[in-house]
Amino acid sequence: MTKQPVTPDALRRYAVSRSLFTPCTLVEAVKKLGYLQADPIRAPARAQDLILRHRVDDYRADDLEKQYAALPLTEDSIYNYGFFHRDELALLHPRAVSQRWRDFMAEHASLRRAVLRYLKAHERAHPRELEKALSSGRRVNGWGGSSSATTLMLEGLHREGKVHVFRRDAGIRVYAAAPKAARALSGDARADGLIRLMINLYAPMPLRSLMRFARVMSDARPGVDCVKRLELMIKRGEQRIEKIDHVTYVWPAAESMPEAVDDKVHLLAPFDPVVWDRLRFEHLWGWRYRFEAYTPLAKRKLGYYALPLLWRDDVIGWGNVETGAKGKLNVKIGYALGKPSGADATIFKRELDKEIERLREFSRTR
């Protein structure tokens, strides 16, 4: 790609157009993204569903959960929890488990063996059925509450790569023994794959953000040096690196930047790839968006689950969505730096109405 001056305007168009690709099938969308972040809050739907609705043809809330068992997808963690295509499994394991989990697994070694025996005999393990069979009692979980020891053991085995999530029943993970692993990748190949996955998902990505996660991913995977491999990718020209204003960005060197984006309005999930990186958000869009679901009510400025409001290539505000009587959606819009005016106001209003109608259709069950 011939180098040309890169401006914040060009980066905005690039960030929006490459992430909000032409809608396709569910599996194709996850494959294109590389990773789909998950979150359990429904306001008005889970984050993974809100992300997919912009990228999958005729997508409805909960389609991922309903279809998951029949799809070549898996739930797991890279730096946080989400969904991947099974082609990426070799990047995930083996990995280090935190000291808290190592202590739990060692303390309950006999339960670990019992759970693995149960899975051999039954193929699937629903936490409630497993608890009935093993009667292991309850333990303190990582959030200060309590969970059954069998549920915690299933989570620990999942972290180890011994089991995987086969499906969900009303949001509850049902586990099965993990499929036989493909031939293990070398440390360098895993590092390269992880770095490319991150850049593909979040490009143009601030180098500071990418380096932070490269260190986290390396620390969790002995023998995998993502920092070193990223430096090599940049040195050999696979990834382009440029400083725009005060922020240094990284993106695939072979990709070009679009001249324009369409007029569509999108109400994005708080974890959508377009808005996920807060450093990039504040640089490119000039205001501070915050996810306030865990912020005390009196300190909230945007709302419990404010959805960033994207128009063309500009995030101009946010929307709060509430479900009213008979399932009717009520959408309240706030603006960060002012509402569109003049001729743009008419276009914006038309596109916002279309987006709210798409959101209503997405929220209807099939």
Q: Please choose, from the candidates 53, 51, 81, the residue with its C-alpha nearest in 3D space to the C-alpha of residue 274.
A: 51
The lowest-confidence range among 7-16, 84-93, 196-205 is 84-93
Is residue 271 a contact partner of residue 33, using CB atoms and an 8 Å limit? no
322 vs 182: which has the higher pLDDT: 322
Give mean pLDDT, residues 66-92: 92
Give mean pLDDT, residues 77-84: 91
The lowest-confidence range among 55-59, 142-146, 173-177, 263-267 is 142-146
User: Would 29 be classed as within a structural domain?
Assistant: no
57 SS3 class = coil
Q: In the predicted model, is pLDDT for residue 261 greater than 80?
A: yes
Taking residue 312's Cβ as centre, other Cβ atoms within 10 Å add up to: 21
Q: Which of 177, 205, 226 is the last residue of a domain?
A: 177
Q: pLDDT confidence of 320, banded at 50, 70, 90?
A: very high
Q: In the predicted model, is pLDDT for residue 303 greater than 80?
A: yes
Mean per-residue pLDDT of the chain: 91
- Give the burial string for 266-292 (b: 16+ CB within 10 Å, else e): bbbbbbbbbbbbeebbebbbeeebebb
Q: Which of 177, 210, 235 is the last residue of a domain?
A: 177
Q: In the predicted model, is pLDDT for residue 141 greater than 60?
A: no
Q: Please choose, from the candidates 313, 356, 350, the residue with its C-alpha nearest in 3D space to the C-alpha of residue 333.
A: 356
Residue 164: CATH number of its domain: 1.10.10
The lowest-confidence range among 151-165, 280-294, 303-317 is 151-165
The lowest-confidence range among 51-60, 157-166, 263-272 is 157-166
323 vs 236: which has the higher pLDDT: 236
Residue bearing tokens 């990284």 = 250
- Distance between CA atoms of 84 and 94, rounded to whole angstroms? 16
Residue 62: the pLDDT is 94
User: Would 273 be classed as within a structural domain?
Assistant: yes
Q: In the predicted model, is pLDDT for residue 209 greater than 50?
A: yes
Range of the domain at 154: 99-177
User: Would 225 be classed as within a structural domain?
Assistant: no
Give mean pLDDT, residues 138-162: 74
Q: pLDDT confidence of 147, banded at 50, 70, 90?
A: low
Residue 138: the pLDDT is 53
User: Would 90 be classed as within a structural domain?
Assistant: no
Residue bearing tokens 């969970």 = 147
User: Would 289 be classed as within a structural domain?
Assistant: yes
User: Would 356 be classed as within a structural domain?
Assistant: yes
User: Would 85 be classed as within a structural domain?
Assistant: no
**Which uninterrupted H or E stretch holds 140?**
strand 138-140
| Angle between helical axes of 226-235 and 187-202 (0-180°, round to 10) | 70
Domain count, the chain: 2
Task: Give me the count of residues in the chain.
Answer: 366
Is residue 163 a contact partner of residue 181, using CB atoms and an 8 Å limit? no
Q: Which of 150, 177, 204 is the last residue of a domain?
A: 177
Residue 324: the pLDDT is 75
User: Would 223 be classed as within a structural domain?
Assistant: no
- Distance between CA atoms of 73 and 86, rounded to whole angstroms? 5
